[in-house]
Structure 1
Amino acid sequence: MRRTFLMLSLAAPLSAMAAAGPAVGPQYDTSHVYVAPNDVDAFVQSFTSTFGGKSTAQVVADVTPTPSSTTSQLLQTPSGTVSLFGFKTPIPHPFGDERNGYLVKDMDLAIQQARQAGADVIVAPFPDPIGRDAVVQWPGGVNMQLYWHTTAPNYAAFQYVPENRVYVSADRAPAFIKAFTTFSHGRVVADDKHAPGAEIGRDKGTYERVRISSDFGHMTVLVTDGHLPFPYGHETTGYEVADLNATLQKATGSGATVLVPAASSDGRQAAMVQFPGGYVAEIHQVLAKK
């Protein structure tokens, strides 16, 4: 259902796990999508028609530390995985604000490392039907869920690793980047302080774009003043595909709407799409170098 966790050998020293970092692999990173129960089936059909892949069986469960009820299923595609929730009850705070779930090797150690790196633990670890979960908040107000499962999953690597798209202010960007790279054992692979404003819907000007790589996968940090036209800032994940135009045709043919037409920048062609239920995603194709 909602998450997948790796069962570690009890013989593995905590010091060795800490040195290796908390991540298991990017194929266990799931984007969290919350839609109204009546929109669940339409979202599943549109998302899987667009990216391929399939859904696990839908279950109804309580996946929060206080009483609640939601439908839950995992959409697994070559371009990324979605944890989909259709809450039948009001959603307990702060659930719904976390952008994704990251599988960690050891929950207690990961929580310790997150705190040491500068995160707040805004939902302390709690049991769910198949493991343990917690929610942390990074500098800049970025919420992420950490999870661990009692039964080891075995997922194939993504064909295209998706990216977390994180919008933060210039005031908090340095603290966020330092905290997250420390926790994830990641590194900054690109920092363009004068990226074209067109990438965030502006007619002119520039902004700072930072790309991070870690064992959790890809991340793009968009450092802005918050003057963002819709839908920029609503998307939490960027999905890479082989052929953007063909993918957009599949999206619109299955009920999705192209909010921002495809445009080229920084070696990629990208568009913004809204799926049934309101979920907004960036979809991009990496362009061949000339």
Structure 2
Amino acid sequence: MRLHTLVASLALLISSAALAEAPNYAVGAQYDTTHVYVAPGDVDAFVKSFTATFGGQSTKQVVVTVTPTPSSTSSQLVQTPVGTVSVFGFRTPVPYPFGLERTGYLVTDLDAAVKAANAAGAATLVAPFDDPIGRDAVVTWPGGVNMQLYWHTKKPAYVAFEHVPENRIYLPAESADAFTKAFVRFAHGKVVSDDRHAPGIEIGRKDGTYRRIRIESTYGKATVLVTDGHLDWPYGTELTGYEVGDLDATLKRAKDSGAKVVVDAHAEGNRRAAMLQFPGGYVAEVHSGQ
């Protein structure tokens, strides 16, 4: 029994050391996108409103297959100074589990990155496959957080963001620590704050507190919002929080371009924040200050 215990301990140490020495496969926050799925008829209105609100521009729309099984969607990349979105308008039913992934993260080596994610605690939800410009996979983290990892045949070169957006991840208490530990290991990131008494107004409550974990890595920012799921709409439906220099001006541009302010601007400690819903249904948190 002692020999078996020693062998198991050595195996664990070797595994931990290998994980600690695993390279960081991230490229940079400006290469990470939020995946936005809208009906084909809403794509143009969404892109027009999103760029009018945040600036930037869209790549040319193409109709392609972006899944490992047959499907058809319009696809375009909308790049702004405060965040990038990949917009999909599927002409066919969306094959499972696509549409459930929240982000796409560019990596330097797809197969190695998937293995590193597995070693850190993620499961491979969609095994690596070819797409028209590279390769992709989808992994799922503790708590059911799905993320796409992708690699391009031709290395892209994008300008760094003026403000790095935050991936907003709502999780129950039972899985928040497991997700945080696994993702931080994979991303070579760090927990910059873990506030167990963050003000409830941040998740739409009139009083009380909740736990908020903020993570930073080469992939960008992530905020884990730990709740009991008793949330008023639209909290929990937003995938990304966008930092802007002038919140009031941003909200005006949004309203003028067809978006709706679904949570009015309000104070959140050292931030002012609001929530927008764009044509097609995409909900986004917007804030100024840190």
| Fold-level similarity (TM above 0.5) | yes
Q: Which residue of 1 aligns with 2:267?
A: 264
Q: Which residue of 1 aligns with 2:112?
A: 109
Match of 2:227 among 224, 227, 248: 224
TM-score by length of 2: 0.92
Q: Which residue of 1 aligns with 2:6?
A: none
In 2: Cα distance, 1:77 partner to 1:252 partner: 18
Q: Which residue of 2 aligns with 1:23?
A: 26
Higher percent of residues as helix: 2
In 1: Cα distance, 2:155 partner to 2:112 partner: 18
In 1: Cα distance, 2:142 partner to 2:25 partner: 19
Q: Which residue of 2 aligns with 1:283?
A: 286
In 1: Cα distance, 2:286 partner to 2:204 partner: 15
In 1: Cα distance, 2:237 partner to 2:71 partner: 25
Cα shift readout 1:95-120 (whole Å, capped 9, x = no counterpart): 00100100011011101100000101
Query: In the TM superposition, what is the alpha-carbon distance from 1:19 to its structure 2 partner?
Result: 4.2
**Contact 2:191–2:214 (8 Å) recurs in 1:** yes
Pair 1:37 & 2:36 matched:
no
Cα shift readout 1:21-75 (whole Å, capped 9, x = no counterpart): 1110000000000000000000010000000000000000000000000000000
Q: Which residue of 1 aligns with 2:62?
A: 59
Matched-pair identity in %: 67
Question: Structure 2 unaligned runs (5+)?
Answer: 1-17
Pair 1:207 & 2:210 matched:
yes
Pair 1:123 & 2:102 matched:
no
Q: Which residue of 2 aligns with 1:162?
A: 165
In 1: Cα distance, 2:156 partner to 2:100 partner: 26
Match of 2:199 among 196, 199, 206: 196
In 1: Cα distance, 2:206 partner to 2:83 partner: 31
Pair 1:246 & 2:259 matched:
no
Partner letter of residue 187 of structure 1? K
Q: Which residue of 2 aligns with 1:87?
A: 90
**Secondary structure of residue in 2 paired with 1:175:** helix
1:61-76, aligned counterparts within 5 Å? Answer: 61-76=64-79
Query: In the TM superposition, what is the alpha-carbon distance from 1:266 to its structure 2 partner?
Result: 3.1
Partner letter of residue 136 of structure 1? V
TM-score by length of 1: 0.92
**Secondary structure of residue in 1 paired with 2:112:** helix
Partner letter of residue 112 of structure 1? K
In 1: Cα distance, 2:78 partner to 2:181 partner: 31
**Secondary structure of residue in 2 paired with 1:171:** helix
**Contact 2:22–2:116 (8 Å) recurs in 1:** no
In 2: Cα distance, 1:31 partner to 1:145 partner: 10
Question: Structure 1 unaligned runs (5+)?
Answer: 1-14
Number of aligned positions between the proteins: 272
Partner letter of residue 168 of structure 2? R
Query: In the TM superposition, what is the alpha-carbon distance from 1:20 to its structure 2 partner?
Result: 3.9
Cα shift readout 1:191-250 (whole Å, capped 9, x = no counterpart): 110001111011111100000000000011000011110000000000011000000000
Partner letter of residue 76 of structure 2? Q
Cα shift readout 1:177-202 (whole Å, capped 9, x = no counterpart): 00000000000001110001111011
**Secondary structure of residue in 1 paired with 2:191:** strand
**Secondary structure of residue in 2 paired with 1:122:** strand
